[in-house]
């Protein structure tokens, strides 16, 4: 657990992002240059200029020595620089990092290398006054190349951390992260299969490779050729990928494609033994299989989540465009002028479009066959509104009942009686059980309430209507004014 304050921890992370990969590259380059100078029994004159030129060369900035331009630089150091920048930015970007801090991380990833590039240009300009063969490269090209390399690494590193957060932004389509994943899968598949084909071609042309290693007798020279060949392996793989998708690669006048091979002079580099020699033979079938398999990988990634047809088409189209742009940039970075051999690289006019067509056509067929297209759910019609019911007429007000005479207990007959009072009245009726109740009428007062006849409350055969009184019964009692008692039949 890191117990440092937040400000100190963030400042240290930003410094690591800004200068970490560039400083490591400077240390490695300085060690290689010093070892070369010591082995060659040379003095240290121009060592700083050589280190600065090689650091810019890692960012694909052409190096000019004695009027000869070395523009076809190895891709492996550049890819390692992109990887280092992506790793440091990803480590500095936490799960809950705000967008404000992310902008500072990207700015640090670009600002530090640009500062080192400015220092390297100044060192080269100063060293060119002593070493007349060393020429200062273009400042615009140098800053642009350094900015492009580190920006690519920063975008990759930050994009890995914020990929899930992009799904929550309403303006960003939900399938956009899947498109980036499919594009990266297609690029890696094409790159890996092309590397397998290049390795197989090197095994087939093992005799040519042995001849190229024999141009030097010293162990140090053969070690240098081996290391240089390893640095140029990605360049050879990109050329093989161009041939696989139907484009072409060239080294000076020598041209290589899936259907035609034109011979020419090639540099004495052992890794270039993988280039095919005329006639091409049936190797073009394996090249087409590599391109088709890469397109199938793109389609399978796009079909992982089934979406409706417009979204599926958009996902595949964006993935194909991204993959084509990445491969075209790699082809451009791996090419350039190689001294007296001329231009080296791939045909940029057809390389990117060929990758796009392969991924769209074969990838689209794979999406359809893999079930990556889902039917859009049908919109359910809203139920018809129920007709409004006419308002029911309000009941007519009922006139209040006449007040009844209070009983001996002071409770009005017919009024609302609480449950407790009702229970007491029922208990009195049960306990008294009079044999023959006498109903009398007071001469100058309203008649007293009638007591219930002696009945058994638990008799199930008793008529329930006998326990209720109506208004007619009450009126009969009021009309009876004689002094003689009423019969029980009344």
Q: What is the pLDDT of residues 291-308, one digit of tens each?
A: 999 999 999 999 888 888
Asked if 124 and 91 sit in the same domain, the reply is yes
Among candidate residues 301, 316, 355, 331, the one with its CA nearest the CA of residue 237: 331
Asked if 9 and 143 sit in the same domain, the reply is yes
Assigned domain for 321 exists: yes
Assigned domain for 104 exists: yes
Say what the pLDDT of residue 56 is: 93
CA dist., res. 363 & res. 185, Å (int): 12
pLDDT digits (tens, 9 = 90+) for 130-182: 777 778 888 999 999 999 999 999 999 998 888 777 777 777 788 888 899 99
Spell out a b/e string for 71-96, using b for 16 or more CB atoms within 10 Å of the CB, else e: bbbbbebbbbbbebbbbbbbebbeee
Assigned domain for 203 exists: yes
Among candidate residues 291, 333, 266, the one with its CA nearest the CA of residue 197: 291
- pLDDT: is 392 or 10 the higher one? 10
- pLDDT: is 14 or 171 the higher one? 14
CA dist., res. 182 & res. 390, Å (int): 62
CA 398 to chain centre: 73
CA dist., res. 419 & res. 422, Å (int): 5
Q: Residue 442: which domain range?
A: 434-490
Among candidate residues 161, 150, 176, the one with its CA nearest the CA of residue 97: 161
What stretches of 215-308 show up as alpha helix (H) in DSSP? 219-231, 233-244, 283-302
Asked if 216 and 265 sit in the same domain, the reply is yes
Assigned domain for 267 exists: yes
Domain boundary among 111, 146, 172: 172
Whether the predicted pLDDT of 278 surpasses 50 = yes
Q: What is the CA radius of gyration of the chain?
A: 49
Whether the predicted pLDDT of 348 surpasses 80 = yes
Note every long-range contact of 312-316, with CB atoms under 8 Å and residues 24 or more positions apart, other chains counting. Answer: 312/367, 312/372, 312/373, 313/364, 314/173, 314/175, 314/179, 315/175, 315/178, 315/179, 315/182, 316/179, 316/182, 316/359, 316/360, 316/363, 316/364, 316/367
pLDDT digits (tens, 9 = 90+) for 405-439: 444 444 444 444 455 555 655 555 545 544 444 44
Do you find a cis peptide bond into 279, omega within 30 degrees of 0?
Answer: yes
Say what the pLDDT of residue 106 is: 93
Whether the predicted pLDDT of 211 surpasses 90 = no
Whether the predicted pLDDT of 369 surpasses 70 = yes
Asked if 207 and 133 sit in the same domain, the reply is no
Spell out a b/e string for 182-220, using b for 16 or more CB atoms within 10 Å of the CB, else e: bbbbbbebbbbbbbebbeebbeebeebbeebbeeeeeee
Asked if 223 and 305 sit in the same domain, the reply is yes
CA dist., res. 271 & res. 296, Å (int): 29
Say what the pLDDT of residue 25 is: 92
* 90, 125, 138, 160 from 130: Cα distances, Å: 42, 10, 19, 46
Asked if 265 and 231 sit in the same domain, the reply is yes
Residue 314 near residue 173 (C-beta atoms within 8 A) = yes
CA dist., res. 258 & res. 463, Å (int): 111
Q: CA-based angle 256:257:258, to the nearest 5?
A: 140
Asked if 259 and 353 sit in the same domain, the reply is yes
Report the domain count for the chain: 3
Spell out a b/e string for 158-180, using b for 16 or more CB atoms within 10 Å of the CB, else e: bbebbeeeeeeeeeebebbbbbb
- Mean pLDDT confidence for 342-362: 91
Asked if 132 and 1 sit in the same domain, the reply is yes
The one-character DSSP state at 433 is -
Asked if 157 and 178 sit in the same domain, the reply is no
Say what the pLDDT of residue 87 is: 93
Say what angle helices 309-333 and 283-302 make with each other, to 10 degrees: 130
- Mean pLDDT confidence for 267-274: 85
Say what the pLDDT of residue 422 is: 55
CA dist., res. 235 & res. 237, Å (int): 5
Asked if 346 and 477 sit in the same domain, the reply is no
Assigned domain for 31 exists: yes
Give the confidence band of 256 by pLDDT, cuts at 50, 70, 90. confident
Domain boundary among 376, 400, 425: 376
CA dist., res. 73 & res. 332, Å (int): 11
Q: CA-based angle 23:29:31, to the nearest 5?
A: 105
Asked if 251 and 318 sit in the same domain, the reply is yes
Asked if 333 and 189 sit in the same domain, the reply is yes
Assigned domain for 44 exists: yes
Whether the predicted pLDDT of 393 surpasses 70 = no
Burial (CB count within 10 angstroms: exposed 0-12, middle 13-18, buried 19+), residue 144: middle
Say what the pLDDT of residue 156 is: 92
Say what the pLDDT of residue 439 is: 47
Domain boundary among 339, 361, 376: 376
Tokens of 161: 């951390």
Assigned domain for 382 exists: no
CA dist., res. 371 & res. 46, Å (int): 63
């Amino acid at each position: 657990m890191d117990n440092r304050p937040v400000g100190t921890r963030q400042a240290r992370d930003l410094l690591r992002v800004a200068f970490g990969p560039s400083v490591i590259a400077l240390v490695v380059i300085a060690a290689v240059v010093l070892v070369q100078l010591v082995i060659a029994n040379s003095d240290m004159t121009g060592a700083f200029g050589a280190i600065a030129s090689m650091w810019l060369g890692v960012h694909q900035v052409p190096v000019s020595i004695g009027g000869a331009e070395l523009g076809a630089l190895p891709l492996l150091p550049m890819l390692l620089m992109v990887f280092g920048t992506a790793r440091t930015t990803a480590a500095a970007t936490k799960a809950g990092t705000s967008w404000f801090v992310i902008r500072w991380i990207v700015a640090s990833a670009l600002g530090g290398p640009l500062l080192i590039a400015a220092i390297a240009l100044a060192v080269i300009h100063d060293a060119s006054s002593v070493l007349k063969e060393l020429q200062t490269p273009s400042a615009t090209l140098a800053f642009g190349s350094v900015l492009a390399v580190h920006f690519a690494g920063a975008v990759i590193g930050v994009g890995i951390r914020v990929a899930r957060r992009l799904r929550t932004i309403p303006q960003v389509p939900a399938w956009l992260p899947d498109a980036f994943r499919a594009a990266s899968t297609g690029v890696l598949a094409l790159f890996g299969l092309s590397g397998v084909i290049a390795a197989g071609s090197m095994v087939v042309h093992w005799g040519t490779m042995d001849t190229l290693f024999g141009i030097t007798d010293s162990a140090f020279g053969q070690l240098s050729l081996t290391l240089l060949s390893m640095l140029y392996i990605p360049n050879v793989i990109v050329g093989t990928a161009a041939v696989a998708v139907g484009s072409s690669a060239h080294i000076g006048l020598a041209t290589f494609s899936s259907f035609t091979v034109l011979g020419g002079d090639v540099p004495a580099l052992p890794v270039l033994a993988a280039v095919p020699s005329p006639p091409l033979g049936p190797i073009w079938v394996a090249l087409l299989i590599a391109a088709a398999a890469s397109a199938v990988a793109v389609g399978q990634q796009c079909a992982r989540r089934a979406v409706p047809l417009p979204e599926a088409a958009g996902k595949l189209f964006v993935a194909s465009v991204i993959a084509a742009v990445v491969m075209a940039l790699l082809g451009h970075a791996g090419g350039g002028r190689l001294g007296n051999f001329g231009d080296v690289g791939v045909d940029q006019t057809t390389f990117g479009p060929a990758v796009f067509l392969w991924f769209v056509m074969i990838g689209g067929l794979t999406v359809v066959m893999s079930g990556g297209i889902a039917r859009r759910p049908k919109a359910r019609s809203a139920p018809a509104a129920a007709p409004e019911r006419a308002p029911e007429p309000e009941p007519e007000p009922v006139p209040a009942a006449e007040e009844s005479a209070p009983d001996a207990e002071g409770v009005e007959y017919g009024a609302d009686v609480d449950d407790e009072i009702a229970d007491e009245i029922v208990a009195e009726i049960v306990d008294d059980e009079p044999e023959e109740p006498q109903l009398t009428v007071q001469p100058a007062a309203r008649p007293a309430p009638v007591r219930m006849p002696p009945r058994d409350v638990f008799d199930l055969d008793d008529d329930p209507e006998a326990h209720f009184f109506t208004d007619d019964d009450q009126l009969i009692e009021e009309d009876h004014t004689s002094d003689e008692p009423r019969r029980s039949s009344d």
